Amino acid sequence: MSKVVVLTGGVGGAKLVLGLSHIVAGADLTAIVNTGDDFRHLGLHVSPDIDTLLYTLSGKANAQQGWGREGESWAFMEALRELGGEDWFLLGDGDLALHVLRSDALARGETLSQITAGFAARWGIGTRILPMSDDPVATMLDTDEGRLAFQRYFVERRCAPAVSAIDFAGASSAVPAGGVEEAILAADAVIVAPSNPFLSVDPLLAVPAIRAALARTAAPVVAVSPLVGGQAVKGPTAKLMGELGIAVDNDAIARHYAGVIDGLLIDSGDDCGVAGLAIGRCPTLMSSLDDKVRVARAALALAEGLRP
């Protein structure tokens, strides 16, 4: 399959993109990344999902932690604490360099897309990494503790508040970053990574022109379910689904993506009974690199079988 697009956010998504990058050469693979988690912190622009992908594809990721860099030092955080600065969001020294450079470049008028492409080139990453938009979009949650910005909910409050609604401020007027629509329309397959559908994939789908491109593309759109045995592999997906009154199963994932996907790849031990959707199965847990490549191959095979 020559041209593949993957919609991704967070650590689960980055694992699948890494698997895909071992099958799809260079810029034939385009990752369109959630920026709803982006925020300004200590005057810096932080883009967590883009950075998780940059670190993963360049071999710099702290795989155990799921974010940030391996072998990181923490002198900045220590100095910050000593001065009484806000320390709920951890910025390692190497990670900090990325945020400083990004913030400086944004202030000089560069776009997030240009800056991301620059980092990727510097680290020899062949996969094309595109932010979903260069316009600001912010994931916001209505909770029993009030309205919270994503990182306040996710990191500061460790997903403890009960969520009643999620919205993506700025998404309805956001324009896709350059190349996003073109990549979706020219793709042979579009894969939706096993990222949190409600927090990591929905921000992309909330950008009207991205949703429209997904509806228009001739390419099959295949999602990889984030659930294994009725549990989310990582993070708040299952807790969130419960709070939103959604059953924690693949039928609910399929219904959530109705009108967007043509196929759903689920774990070998699981089921999905939603009619009109092609179902693929493989062990979807991605620990080793072999696992990631296996899931990537299974997603591409499901898409290949759906090509007109």
Q: Which amino acid is at 64?
A: Q
Residue 151 is a binding residue for ligand FO1 (CB under 6 A): yes
Segment lying near ligand FO1 (by CB under 6 A), choices 16-24, 85-93, 221-229, 295-303: 85-93
Contact region with ligand FO1 (CB under 6 A), list: 90-98, 111-119, 179-187, 283-291: 90-98
Interface region with ligand FO1, contact rule CB under 6 A, candidates 88-96, 113-121, 221-229, 278-286: 88-96
Binding string, residues 7-46; x marks residues near ligand FO1 by CB under 6 A: --xx--------------------------x--------x
d(CA 196, CA 305): 25
Nearest approach in angstroms of CB 160 to ligand FO1 is: 13
Q: In the complex with ligand FO1, which residue's Cβ is closer, 22 or 234? A: 234
Q: CA-to-CA distance for 216 and 207, rounded, in angstroms? A: 15
Among the listed residues 67, 119, 153, 168, the single contact to ligand FO1 using CB under 6 A: 67
Tokens representing 117 are 């492409």
Applying CB under 6 A, does 95 fall inside the site for ligand FO1?
Answer: yes
Q: What span, in angstroms and rounded, lies between the C-alpha atoms of 139 and 203?
A: 7
Collect all residues with Cβ–Cβ distance below 8 Å to 210 and sequence separation of at least 6. Answer: 32, 132, 176, 180, 181, 184, 204
The residue among 224 and 272 lying less far from ligand FO1, judged by its C-beta, is 224
Which one of the spans 20-28, 84-92, 224-232, 265-273 is the region binding ligand FO1 (CB under 6 A)? Answer: 84-92
Contact 270, 280 (CB under 8 A): no
Whole-angstrom Cα distance, residue 258 to residue 197?
A: 12
Non-local (6+) Cβ contacts of 281 within 8 A are 265, 266, 267, 268, 270, 298
Residue (49 or 181) nearer to ligand FO1, CB? 49
Q: Whole-angstrom Cα distance, residue 19 to residue 64?
A: 17
CB of 240 to ligand FO1, least distance (A): 13
Tell me: does residue 49 bind ligand FO1 (CB under 6 A): yes
Say whether residue 51 binds ligand FO1 (CB under 6 A): yes
89 near ligand FO1 (CB under 6 A): yes
Q: Which residue number, 52 or 143, has a Cβ lying nearer to ligand FO1?
A: 52
Closer to ligand FO1 by CB, 39 or 257: give it.
Answer: 39
DSSP 64: T
In angstroms, the CA 35 to CA 52 distance is 12
Question: Which stretch, 24-32, 150-158, 177-185, 220-228, contacts ligand FO1 (CB under 6 A)?
Answer: 150-158
Binding segment (CB under 6 A) for ligand FO1, from list 83-91, 116-124, 206-214, 223-231:
83-91
Distance CA 99, CA 135 (A): 17
> What residues does 130 pair with on adjacent strands?
32
CA distances (Å), origin 49, targets 30, 33, 68, 85, 242: 15, 7, 10, 24, 24
Helices within the chain (DSSP H only): 10-21, 48-57, 75-82, 93-107, 112-122, 150-151, 180-186, 202-205, 208-216, 237-243, 250-256, 289-304
**Contact flags string 181-220 toward ligand FO1, x per CB under 6 A:** -------------------x--------------------
- Residues that bind ligand FO1 in the complex, under the rule CB under 6 A: 9-10, 37, 46, 48-49, 51-52, 67-68, 89-91, 95, 151, 154-155, 200
